[in-house]
Amino acid sequence: MKQLRNDTIAAGPRHSVGLKMDGMVRAVGDNKYGQCNVSDWYDIVSVAAGNVHMAANTGNAHTVGLTTDGIVVATGWNRHGQCNTGHWRDIAAVAAGWCRTIGVQADGSVVAVGRNNEGECDVSDWYDMVAVTAGDWHTIGLKSDGTVAAVGNNQYRQCSIMDWCDMMAVSAGYLHTIGLKLNGTVTAAGWNKYDQCNVSDWSDVTAVAAGSYHTVGLNADGTVVAVGSNKHNQCNVNGWHDIKAIAAGCAHTLGLKSDGTILAAGNNDYGQCNVIESIK
């Protein structure tokens, strides 16, 4: 199964990352831990940003980049060794979660570094993977046959997805998991206090992104839908159009337009939504 790429933009808890066409990377927002220090990166083909729910420690984040030669670079908070990816080789896809980084190798096996208190890094026996996604305390893998694997915290059944099949993309939020099926419909599992899992009526969707308390979907016509908490206006995306990629942070949402510009909605306390001039 060919995996759809949706990794040209990334949204962390308080920062936003964008991959330029020339392989360089831009970032805006909170840089307390150096998570925006990406200006010297080059030959990047994919970016990811560690996310976390809205809390006092929300700003503790890191940023990951995958290079054209399969090497992974990382910057930012490294208390749990989540940025120690320099020894990885032959990586085909990356994901960043709370305190950890996950990599899919070219042979479909998976590697992980960082916090493993909930077993969220127990992926050494995974195989035939084409993509991974990392939430706060759980990690989801998408296999080439459209089935999924899950490890980590399952308190709200966010990992109870073993019966999912015919998937083309997955996204892990704080305590919920979103799956995009080959037929364009969307399914969800996990905590639904803010209706972030109310996606069963979505159709003709081509990409999904899970934030802390909200979920975003990209329609085939380039419009965007969102459900969940809208406390910071992170779900105010109804007027967006001509979008080709989406990303959901803790409490903000990004959309990449076909002309290379980026739209943003939601919390901007740290300038994480100041992306129009900074990233394009």
Q: DSSP letters of 215-266?
A: EEEEETTS-EEEEE--TTSTT--TT--SEEEEEE-SSEEEEEETTS-EEEEE
Strands of the sheet containing 243-248, edge to edge, are 243-248, 252-257, 262-266
> What pLDDT, on a 0 to 100 scale, did the predictor assign at position 3?
45
* CB of 121 closer than 8 Å to CB of 113: yes
> What pLDDT, on a 0 to 100 scale, did the predictor assign at position 276?
66
* CB of 233 closer than 8 Å to CB of 226: no
Number of neighbours of residue 57 by Cβ within 10 angstroms? 11
Residue whose pair of structure tokens reads 């909930």 in the numeric block: 118
Residue 245 one-letter amino acid: A
> What pLDDT, on a 0 to 100 scale, did the predictor assign at position 54?
73
* CB of 179 closer than 8 Å to CB of 152: no
Output phi, psi for 279, to 5 deg: -110, -25
What is the pTM for the complete model shown? Answer: 0.96
pLDDT in tens, the chain (280 residues): 444 445 899 999 999 999 999 999 999 999 999 999 999 999 999 999 997 677 766 678 999 999 999 999 999 999 999 999 999 999 999 999 999 999 999 999 999 999 999 999 999 999 999 999 999 999 999 999 999 999 999 999 999 999 999 999 999 999 999 999 999 999 999 999 999 999 999 999 999 999 999 999 999 999 999 999 999 999 999 999 999 999 999 999 999 999 999 999 999 999 999 996 665 5
**Residues with Cβ within 8 Å of residue 73, at least 6 apart in sequence:** 41, 44, 64, 65, 67, 85, 86
CA angle 113, 119, 120 (to 5 degrees): 55
